[in-house]
Each structure stands twice: as structure tokens, then as C-alpha cells.
């Protein structure tokens, strides 16, 4: 089926979030090192991004490295950081030509210096682009994000700059790393795992989930189109009844 053609352009998800899972298992299936999976995962990143550009999804957020991923073998962590720097270097031209703005969320301060510099430079170079905001979640953990937001709000209350009764969903949401971004409408996870692994916990209160069996390096833009088509067949009720919508 041609899912792209069947997508309703007026009901596109404004924000697609992805958990790119299964790189290691995919590589193992070929008798290769895990990093081979991550390297091929970059092709899938391109597919997802180009798919969003093609149909006009304005926000794409990718879980590229979780705060828990620091516990992986040093070799793999270093290789992932190098891959990030290499990819950003190679893709800057694409970002500029396609009006893509790079953004990053997470504890960016924990990243190696060359990664931080490359991220900062690419973010600055693309800051006026608007067609698609590509957010990389790096050294990201949602519980930590929520705790950071809570601390920052508490400090403002203690300093007398904020009244406790003014704390609402809007203020809390704007204290998260994702301030200013719409909540994800659709979250896709590859590799058959059905969990959200400390990803955008607050933001995904009403997100529609799509769990795919295929491994991340196998992900193609048609998978994105199919997921978006299926998302459009769902009824988002936000606690209301069907009749009330």
C-alpha cells in the first residue's frame, strides 16, 4: 500500500518522537560489532528526517543517547560520540539546504568537548531554519529533566519571583528541556520492545504509540508514512467520549 498518498496532510502529527532501538541486535545478526549497527542507524536517521521534510512534519525528536547509555562499554560510548560528530559534520550542508534546525535536549554538559562544540556550532549555524526542528536527546533522562524543572521552579518560589498558585501545566511544561515545543503526537519505537525507557515522560501524557518489530537500521521513510497513516486512523479522545468530539 502507498501510505504516503493516503496520509491526510491536514491532520499531520506536529511532533514525532522516535526511540531508535535495535542497532546492536541488528549488527549481531550479521556477526558484526554493535557499532556497525549504530553506523547503519545513521541511514535510518536520514530516512526519518527526509520523510518528515517530504510530508511536512515540523518536529522530529530522536533518542540518540540516554543518560543510562553511559553505562555501556567505553569503546561503544566513544564510538557513538565520534559517530555523532562525524554525522553532524557531514549533514550540516543538508540541514542548511533543507531548512532544518538542529536542537539538543539532555545533560549536554556531560558530553565530550568535541561533541559539545560540534553541537553548539551546528545549532548556531541552523538557528534561523524553520521547516523541521530536529531535536537530539543526548545524555537524556526524563526523570532528571522533571527533577531539574522542579528545582528551577522551587528556586523561583523561594526567591519570591513566583507564586506557588501560578504553577500550572503550562509553566511546568515550559520549565522542561522541551520548552516551546509541542508535545509529541506520535512516538515510534523499533526493535519490538514495548516500553518508553525514561523518554519524554511528562510530554507523552497523550501521545499515540507505534511499536515496530523491525530494528532501527532497517527503518525506512515508508515505515514513517505507515505509522503516520495508522496514527491518523485513531481517535484521540483526551478523556472525552467519542460523541463529545
**Cβ(66)–Cβ(241) under 8 Å?**
no
Query: Least distance to ligand FPP from the beta carbon of 33, Å?
Result: 11
In the window 172-201, what residues touch ligand FPP (CB under 6 A)? Answer: 191
Contact 135, 123 (CB under 8 A): no
From the CB of 9, what's the least distance to ligand FPP, in Å? Answer: 27
Binding ligand FPP (rule: CB under 6 A), the pick from 49, 62, 79, 102 is 62
C-alpha torsion sign, points 49, 196, 37, 75: positive
Q: Is 69 a catalytic residue?
A: yes
Among 7, 136, 137, 186, binds ligand FPP (CB under 6 A): 136
Q: What is the DSSP string of 45-91?
A: HHHHHHHHHHHT--EEEEEEEEGGGGGS-HHHHHHHHHHHHHHHHHH
**Catalytic-labelled residue, pool 69, 107, 129, 198:** 69
Judged by CB, which is closer to ligand FPP: 24, or 184? 24
By CB under 6 A, tell whether 81 contacts ligand FPP.
no
Report how far residue 118's alpha carbon sits from residue 84's, in angstroms, rounded to the nearest whole number.
Answer: 9
Strand partners, 102: 134
> Does the footprint of ligand FPP cover residue 64 (CB under 6 A)?
yes
What is the spatial distance between Cα 81 and Cα 92, in angstroms, rounded to a whole number?
A: 17
How many angstroms separate the CA atoms of 225 and 157, rounded? 45
**Counting contacts by CB under 6 A, is residue 224 touching ligand FPP?**
no
We find the least distance from the C-beta atom of residue 91 to ligand FPP, in angstroms, to be: 8
Taking the complex as a whole, the smallest distance from the CB of residue 242 to ligand FPP amounts, in Å, to 37
Of the residues 2, 8, 21, 170, only one is catalytic, namely 21
Residue 69 in contact with ligand FPP, rule: CB under 6 A = yes
Give the shortest CB-72-to-ligand FPP separation in angstroms.
8
d(CA 104, CA 185): 19
Residues 14-33 that bind ligand FPP (CB under 6 A): 20-25
Q: Is the dihedral of CA 36, 38, 42, 44 positive or negative?
A: positive
Residues that bind ligand FPP (CB under 6 A): 20-25, 34, 38, 41-42, 45, 62, 64-65, 69, 80, 83-84, 87, 136, 191, 216
Residues annotated as catalytic (active site), given as ranges: 21, 69
Amino acid at each position: 500500500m502507498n501510505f504516503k498518498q493516503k496520509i491526510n496532510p491536514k491532520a499531520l502529527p506536529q511532533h514525532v518522537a522516535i526511540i531508535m532501538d535495535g542497532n546492536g541486535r541488528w549488527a549481531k545478526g550479521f556477526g558484526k560489532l554493535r557499532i556497525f549497527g549504530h553506523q547503519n542507524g545513521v541511514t535510518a536517521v536520514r530516512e526519518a528526517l527526509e520523510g518528515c521534510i517530504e510530508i511536512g512534519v515540523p518536529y522530529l525528536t530522536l533518542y540518540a543517547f540516554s543518560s543510562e547509555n553511559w553505562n555501556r562499554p567505553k569503546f561503544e560510548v566513544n564510538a557513538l560520540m565520534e559517530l555523532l560528530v562525524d554525522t553532524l559534520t557531514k549533514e550540516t550542508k543538508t540541514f542548511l539546504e533543507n531548512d532544518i534546525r538542529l536542537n539538543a535536549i539532555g545533560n549536554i554538559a556531560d558530553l565530550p568537548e568535541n561533541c559539545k562544540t560540534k553541537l553548539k556550532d551546528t545549532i548556531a549555524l541552523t538557528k534561523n531554519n524553520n521547516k523541521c526542528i530536529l531535536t537530539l536527546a543526548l545524555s537524556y533522562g526524563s526523570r532528571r529533566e522533571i527533577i531539574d524543572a522542579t528545582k528551577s521552579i522551587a528556586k523561583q518560589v523561594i526567591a519570591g519571583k513566583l507564586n506557588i498558585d501560578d504553577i500550572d501545566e503550562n509553566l511546568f511544561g515550559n520549565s522542561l528541556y522541551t520548552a516551546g515545543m509541542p508535545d509529541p503526537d506520535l512516538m515510534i519505537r523499533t526493535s519490538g520492545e514495548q516500553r518508553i525507557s525514561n523518554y519524554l515522560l511528562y510530554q507523552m501524557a497523550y501521545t499515540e504509540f507505534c511499536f515496530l518489530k523491525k530494528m532501527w537500521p532497517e527503518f525506512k521513510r515508508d515505515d514513517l508514512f505507515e505509522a503516520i497513516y495508522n496514527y491518523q486512523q485513531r481517535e484521540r479522545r483526551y478523556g472525552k467520549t467519542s460523541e463529545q468530539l
